[in-house]
Amino acid sequence: MAHDGAPATNLLGLEEQAEFLPLATRFFRDEDRLPAENFISSDFMNRENARLRALEGKIDIVQLSLILHLWNWDGQVEACKRIIELLRPAKGSMIVGQSVGHLDGVEAPGRPGTIVFKHNAETFLKMWRQTEKETGTEWDVQASLDEGLGAAEQNGRWDGPRAKRLVFTCVRL
């Protein structure tokens, strides 16, 4: 986003593993545009982190990529509820992202001992409808599956012939 002209003062990064933060700015070659204080090392579900608490209700857009599929259905609902807490409670607040998806929208084995949920467009919308009900909010939700992230090549551990990339946009009404 900084590369495309978004003011660095408006961009924040959140990563649970602190050692990844300097790697990201080096990888994207934006160390000169994004100061270290723009990044927070925390689990975004951590409601005790003072920096995250200070952001609650103040963020306009969350870019959420390759994280939702790490939880089961209920965990994803809780994650979406937390994102809503961070977003400004105003029409037009937005979540955009991508996740590992599946043509059938299914539970699947995750990390050892865990079960995750991989959505298709229909199950993603159903999960958001549950989130809306539990938060008292309304959203325009758009989701689709595609071949991005190498899904067509089936090179990853998560791959299978029915694995796809889920891309989504959720705009608060």
List domains and CATH numbers for the chain. Answer: 1-41 (no CATH), 57-172 (3.40.50.150)
If one counts every other C-beta atom within 10 angstroms of the C-beta of residue 13, the result is 15
Residue 152 pLDDT > 70, yes or no?
A: no
> How do residues 20-55 score in pLDDT, each as one tens digit?
766 766 766 777 777 777 777 778 888 898 988 999
Residue 154 pLDDT > 60, yes or no?
A: no
Model pLDDT, residue 151: 53
Model pLDDT, residue 81: 97
Model pLDDT, residue 36: 72
Model pLDDT, residue 3: 66
> How do residues 49-72 score in pLDDT, each as one tens digit?
898 899 999 999 999 988 899 899
Q: What is the pTM of this model?
A: 0.85
Residue 5 pLDDT > 90, yes or no?
A: no
Please report how many Cα atoms fall inside a 13 Å half-sphere around the Cα of residue 66, on the Cβ side: 4
Model pLDDT, residue 85: 96
Model pLDDT, residue 34: 73
> How do residues 85-137 score in pLDDT, each as one tens digit?
999 999 999 999 999 999 999 999 888 999 999 999 999 999 999 999 999 99
Using pLDDT thresholds of 50, 70 and 90, give the confidence band for residue 162. confident
Find tokens 């998560």 and name the residue. Answer: 158
